[in-house]
A and B are shown apart, each in its own frame.
Chain A
């Protein structure tokens, strides 16, 4: 059992890492570097952009589309909070009271996702559209001018709906692992059921809340479908701008700069978030 026996063993982790590492290098790192290159290029009409260390694209992107950036993070943040407010109680009820129906109930949460994202969002336009009966009923209460679509709440609602399962599933998994007899122990130690929840169950489910909010916030911030179908030009999010720059305006450098800024802001936001509410120390 000398030192040389350990050498192959030391290579095992690297061997196991290599497929994933290679994949990331090829399909993540290379495209991102390509994106950086394009973002630093100058657009040339009807030709590929010319690489020129042109940092101006970033400045223009921020100054021209600051409002869309702000809106994206506002809508994504609201959608995350709403998804939490709707998803946590649902996950809690299934985990705590689902009994033998647990798997079925959680399955029902996922079922709508067998249809495509686009179709589901389109469906909302007809349910909440100008001539839908839902809108008619709402107008009876909120006045004639009321619409669901074309407004910020339409977009936030769509985002919330579309990303809700990404909130529910991780929270459910976290709650499922908790021994609910701990609420009995809390009650025995004079904590009311509500206090017992906040002092014991909720802290133990935080890893799920953390994962769920990232899974909702990140894709919601970059989403362009909901704003397009359920919004109006006043509710455009940064995802739509990127899409428009890439596919309609064919201004690749601007689109690349916008994407990189979005990535940068999300990365910083996630780092700050995990520093503040990170799950370290919770995994007991």
Chain B
């Protein structure tokens, strides 16, 4: 288990080995990390990975089975939600249908006994921030889904919480609206400087907005890092395949020297891979990962100065605008995908033997074995429906 706890003074939320059981089901297993003040932090994973449960424990709707949660330095593990200085934007928004938009937004301030005129004034200001100035008198049912979403955001933000928790808030919106809301959320987060903790199963959404992402699966936190870090240096095979598309090959670590690790491949070749600060143990099985856009195709001998090359049979080429999506099969039967720019494509045709190569920094070694039948291209399909 990796330790992502930075133990820094600027941690606004600290999870210390937080575990949650529902009966015999382990929803969250030893979540152990810090969320830093002012950052846009995402918890990303497929449904059932424990991301929402973790968020609900931070909000106080669920109590951890073991471990503790600190908010701005204070242990809040057993503090009820109404005494926690965090606010949530719910997946279904949870607006109060009998109240006007303005009263919805003023709700939290009224709970804190802020006098009515001041509460309404501040609520109106927050409606301005989310660009709904004119809608204060309406009822939630008179607003579109995207507008309700922004009301939910205003209702939470008006309380100036220590952290804003967002539970798949964009899941119910259509693609176009979702993309504009992603930018809007990022803008608001930067303008207000409030810590955002964002839960999503959408592996394209998280990197767009986040400063750091925690990738979770089956209750475990597989990796925490910046979007680039997670994309190019995944800690596990799951992370490699969940974020974007990855070509994975089973390899064995032969030796490690300095910042280069040498691995043996079943394809009969030896590759040199940058360690990017990781350490590997010789003799271990590991997985070589190359992103499709880092693969080049050449008709004959690979160019010099490359990090690695494998022979393969070109099986398909699909034109996708400036990029060609090329599929090829290796001698071991693994299917590999390369995204090649139109201008870089050599004169080859489907059914021809080609060489797939990558530059020395184009590959990464994931310190986790992969079975031979799992080798080849993998990517998460975005067909997951949202579970309420």
Q: Is B90 interfacial (CB 8 A cutoff)?
A: yes
- Size bracket of the A interface: 20 to 34
Q: Is B53 interfacial (CB 8 A cutoff)?
A: no
Q: Which residue of B lies closest to A204 (CB)?
A: B98
Contact indicator B107/A191 (Cβ below 8 Å): yes
20 A-B contacts (beta carbon < 8 Å): A181-B90, A181-B92, A181-B94, A182-B96, A184-B90, A184-B94, A185-B94, A185-B95, A186-B96, A188-B88, A189-B87, A189-B107, A190-B83, A191-B82, A191-B107, A195-B111, A200-B96, A200-B98, A203-B98, A284-B97
Q: 12 additional contacts, CB 8 Å, given A187-B60, A189-B155, A195-B111?
A: A185-B90, A185-B94, A185-B95, A187-B82, A188-B61, A189-B108, A189-B111, A190-B83, A192-B82, A200-B98, A284-B139, A284-B140
Q: How far is B21's CA from A149's CA once the two chains are assembled, in angstroms?
A: 56
Contact with B along A190-210 (1 / 0, CB 8 A): 111101100110011000000
Contact indicator B94/A187 (Cβ below 8 Å): no
Q: How far is B82's CA from A189's CA once the two chains are assembled, in angstroms?
A: 6
Q: Is A17 interfacial (CB 8 A cutoff)?
A: no
Contact indicator B111/A184 (Cβ below 8 Å): no
Contact indicator B87/A188 (Cβ below 8 Å): yes
Q: Is A282 interfacial (CB 8 A cutoff)?
A: yes
Q: Which residues in B have their C-beta under 8 angstroms from that of A193?
A: 82
A window 49-102: CB within 8 A of B: none
B window 127-166: CB within 8 A of A: 139-141, 155-156, 159
Contact indicator B139/A184 (Cβ below 8 Å): no
Q: SS class of chain A's interface: helix, strand, loop or mixed? A: helix
- Within the complex, the shortest CB–CB distance from B330 to chain A, in Å, comes to 51
With A181-B92, A284-B139, A284-B140 in contact, is A188–B97 under 8 Å at CB? no
Contact with A along B44-61 (1 / 0, CB 8 A): 000000000000000111
Q: Which residues in B have their C-beta under 8 angstroms from that of A195?
A: 111
Q: Is B81 interfacial (CB 8 A cutoff)?
A: yes
Cβ-closest 10 pairs across A and B: A185-B94, A189-B108, A190-B111, A284-B97, A187-B81, A188-B88, A191-B111, A187-B82, A189-B107, A284-B139
Q: Which residues in B have their C-beta under 8 angstroms from that of A189?
A: 82, 87, 107-108, 111, 155-156, 159
Q: Which residues in B have their C-beta under 8 angstroms from that of A190?
A: 82-83, 108, 111-112, 159
Of the candidates A179, A184, A282, the one whose C-beta lies within 8 Å of that of B98 is A282
- Within the complex, the shortest CB–CB distance from B97 to chain A, in Å, comes to 4
Q: Is B80 interfacial (CB 8 A cutoff)?
A: yes
